[in-house]
């Protein structure tokens, strides 16, 4: 920003990383060009052309009355000002810039102002915008190169008519003539949104709100708010500690931390170094926990203090590579001390849209839990789809009670807050009894719910308070039609497409290279199986009606959907195979005792060694110490025999649902 007189005549700001906005700031003179702002504008554009980090340049005028009224005849008509050369420089530099130039035209674009706008790559205009080329009618030269450019845009005869008559051209006619890219209700508001399409990695997504509204609240947790600037400062400090510990691009950092602001810091700090964030369920124990840590192959781990004994018993990660998140505590290996080990990292490592951001583990459907390899742009594409479909705004408070190792808390809560400059309000965990209290306390405006959480919330006893509500009665579980750039196919067991309204297996793919998971980490065989014939086999059973609307029917894999979690039956069974009295264990779903709409409950049938005296209660107590809370069974039944199918699999259909 350069000051001439009391006010700067040209403003420059960075609405988002790699995007520069230049604003002509003479609203009382309709942002006309004079001896001060024309040279400035020319020098700014030339300087930005040489800056490789600038991807997009937005040109606009201050206020709503005018983009630019051309040359200020009161100040720069005299030939000695060189106004013609200045205008030619501006249009030449704009039209030949390696950066994409977008003109946001509100109100008048007259003479040289119209020439500057039409030299841009994209011209977005408001409904009241007007073009005019009055130079010839005023006896003034058309000096910015429009005599060459305009015939290419509208044809020679139409160009002659517009230049010789100097008449007004409104937005609708300009669009028909090809002078506009599109008409927007408010082009100056729209431009940063258009430019956000240039944000293709999470480091850039965080940099945008930090640069534009650093003091705005971003992360709300436990009754405390963290601003974008505070969050970014902590991320930089943690990234400095990670770099000091030897973390480099491509390394994996495993994080076993419950919902907290420190957990959120860890994701962005790891990504700032170009490394890979591997959050895991803090409720995992024993065999399952060891399997997940082993599969992740981490270089370093961050673990909650309360979870450290369980983590260390796996003997996978050397203690020297484990840093501990100690609430309000310090120590040589504490996270707070770790964050002060080295200078903060303020500039992120350069990554591509396809660079891996995180490994998010599935809850397990067939075999062990698997790590989905997710790119930076994957998170952003899912986020942008959510924002568009739900109409989210910067004033929203996005509430999420689900853990940060989940897709909901990351792609559907934190990242939307980055792009919108909104608030991400997280809870320690979902609680039906505290749900509405937390909604009020966080001032939430949007809640992306999972599975049975609403049904369970509705079953809470009502209180005596009187509230005013607005609601829409929902019908069947309708997923609507597929999103743009995604294709779906519904097939039967033989791989053939099924007719409308017939349940089948859901296959999806996208023509966007980063719209889906890249692979399952270190599991090429399963990746090849899941992406058979270049279609992702989701494991979902759906049907599609004649209008393309999709309906979810169920899952086709050995999984129990419980409290918003996919419980892998095999993982729980493997734990019980470690019990000395158990011969065979079978885990399966039964109707929830909470009633319809609450997903499923978990039942365990066990066959014991002859002579064993262990009881169901003792097995349940043993289970509580071995598996995550969501994996603990609602029912346990000791049975005489568990039959197997001809292929050797447990015949769970033959096991009774009642009893236990």
Would you say the C-alpha torsion 480, 481, 483, 487 has a positive or negative sign? positive
| Bridging pattern class, strands 66-68 and 108-110 | parallel
Q: Are 546 and 500 in contact (CB under 8 A)?
A: yes
Q: Are 302 and 325 in contact (CB under 8 A)?
A: yes
- Three-state SS string over 149-163 comes to HHHHHHCHHHHHHHH
Q: Are 39 and 76 in contact (CB under 8 A)?
A: no
Q: How far apart are CA 632 and CA 628, in angstroms?
A: 7
Nearest to 642 by CA among 596, 581, 587, 576: 587
Token representation of residue 494:
């033989």
From start to end of 280-419, where are the E strands? 300-304, 322-325, 356-361, 371-375, 397-400
**Active site annotation includes 377:** no
3-state secondary structure of 145: coil
Nearest to 250 by CA among 353, 354, 357: 357
Q: How far apart are CA 92 and CA 116, in angstroms?
A: 9
Q: How far apart are CA 193 and CA 188, in angstroms?
A: 9
Nearest to 412 by CA among 548, 293, 564, 558: 564
**Active site annotation includes 46:** no
Going across the sheet that includes 423-426, the strands are 224-227, 217-221, 423-426, 397-400, 446-447
Catalytic residue among 71, 115, 262, 573: 115
Q: Are 497 and 489 in contact (CB under 8 A)?
A: yes
Q: Are 258 and 222 in contact (CB under 8 A)?
A: no
Residue with tokens 């064993």: 612
| Bridging pattern class, strands 582-591 and 565-568 | unpaired
Q: How far apart are CA 485 and CA 480, in angstroms?
A: 15
Token representation of residue 328:
């309000």
Q: Are 426 and 413 in contact (CB under 8 A)?
A: yes
Catalytic residue among 135, 283, 519, 599: 135
Contacts 24+ apart (CB under 8 A), 133-138: 133/162, 133/163, 133/166, 134/70, 134/110, 134/166, 135/70, 135/111, 135/163, 135/166, 136/163, 136/164, 136/166, 137/165, 137/166, 138/166
* Chain mean position to CA 297: 26
Could you tell me which residues come within 8 angstroms of residue 569 by beta carbon, excluding any fewer than 6 positions away?
Answer: 558, 559, 560, 586, 587, 588
Give CA separation, 190 vs 117, 119, 185, 430, in Å: 16, 19, 8, 36
Which residues are catalytically annotated? 115, 135
């Amino acid at each position: 920003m350069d000051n001439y007189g009391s006010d700067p005549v040209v403003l420059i700001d960075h609405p988002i990383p790699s995007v520069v906005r230049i604003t002509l700031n003479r609203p009382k003179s309709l942002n006309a060009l004079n001896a001060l702002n024309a040279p400035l504008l020319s020098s700014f554009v030339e300087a930005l052309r040489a800056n490789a980090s600038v991807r997009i340049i937005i040109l606009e005028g201050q206020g709503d009355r005018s983009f630019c009224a051309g040359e200020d005849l009161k100040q720069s008509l005299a030939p000695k000002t060189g106004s013609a050369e200045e205008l030619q420089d501006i249009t030449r530099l704009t039209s030949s810039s390696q950066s994409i130039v977008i003109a946001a035209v509100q109100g008048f674009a007259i003479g040289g102002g119209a020439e500057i706008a039409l030299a841009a790559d994209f011209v977005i205009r408001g409904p009241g915008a007007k073009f005019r080329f009055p130079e010839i009618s005023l006896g003034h030269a058309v000096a910015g190169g429009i005599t060459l450019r305009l015939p290419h845009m509208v044809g020679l005869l139409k160009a002659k008519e517009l230049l010789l008559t100097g008449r007004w051209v409104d937005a609708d006619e300009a669009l028909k003539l090809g002078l506009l890219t599109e008409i927007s209700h408010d082009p100056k508001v729209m431009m940063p949104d258009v430019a956000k399409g240039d944000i293709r990695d999470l480091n850039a997504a965080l940099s945008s709100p930090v640069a534009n509204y650093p003091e705005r609240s971003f992360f709300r947790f436990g009754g405390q708010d963290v601003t974008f600037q505070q969050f970014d400062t902590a991320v930089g400090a943690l990234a400095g500690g990670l770099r000091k510990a030897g973390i480099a691009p491509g390394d994996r950092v495993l994080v076993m931390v419950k919902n907290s602001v420190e957990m959120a810091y860890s994701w962005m700090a790891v990504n700032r170094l170009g490394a890979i964030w591997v959050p895991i369920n803090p409720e995992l124990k024993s065999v399952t926990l060891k399997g997940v840590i082993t599969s992740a192959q981490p270089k370093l781990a961050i673990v909650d203090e309360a979870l450290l004994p369980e983590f260390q018993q796996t003997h996978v990660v050397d203690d020297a590579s484990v840093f501990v998140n100690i609430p309000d505590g310090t120590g040589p290996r504490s996270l707070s001390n770790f964050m002060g080990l080295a200078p903060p990292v303020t500039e992120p490592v350069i990554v591509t849209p396809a660079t891996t951001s995180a490994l998010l583990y599935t809850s397990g459907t067939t075999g062990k839990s698997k790590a989905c390899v997710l790119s930076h742009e994957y998170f952003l594409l899912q986020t942008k789809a959510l924002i568009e479909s739900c109409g989210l705004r910067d004033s929203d408070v996005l509430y999420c009670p689900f853990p940060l190792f989940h897709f909901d808390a990351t792609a559907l809560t934190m990242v939307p807050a980055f792009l919108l400059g909104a608030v991400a309000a997280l809870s320690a965990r979902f609680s039906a009894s505290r749900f509405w209290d937390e909604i009020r306390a966080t001032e939430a405006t949007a809640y992306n719910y999972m599975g049975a959480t609403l049904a369970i919330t509705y079953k809470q006893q009502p209180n005596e308070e009187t509230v005013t509500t607005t609601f829409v009665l929902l019908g069947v579980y309708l997923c609507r039609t597929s999103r743009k750039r995604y294709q779906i196919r519904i097939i039967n067991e033989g791989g053939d497409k099924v007719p409308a309204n017939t349940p089948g297996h859901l296959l999806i793919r996208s023509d966007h290279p980063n719209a889906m998971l890249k692979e399952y980490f270190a599991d090429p065989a399963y990746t090849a199986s899941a992406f058979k014939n270049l279609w992702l086999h989701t494991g979902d059973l759906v049907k599609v009606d004649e209008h393309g609307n999709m309906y979810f029917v169920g899952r086709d894999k050995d999984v129990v959907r419980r409290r918003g979690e996919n419980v892998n039956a095999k993982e729980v069974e493997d734990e019980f195979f470690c019990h000395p009295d158990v011969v065979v264990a079978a885990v399966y779903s039964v109707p929830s005792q909470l009633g319809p709409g609450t997903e499923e409950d978990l039942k365990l049938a066990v066959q014991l060694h002859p002579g064993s005296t262990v009881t169901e209660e003792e097995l349940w107590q043993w289970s509580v110490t071995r598996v995550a809370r969501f994996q603990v069974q609602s029912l346990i039944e000791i049975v005489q025999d568990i039959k197997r199918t001809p292929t050797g699999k447990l015949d769970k259909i033959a096991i009774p649902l009642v009893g236990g």
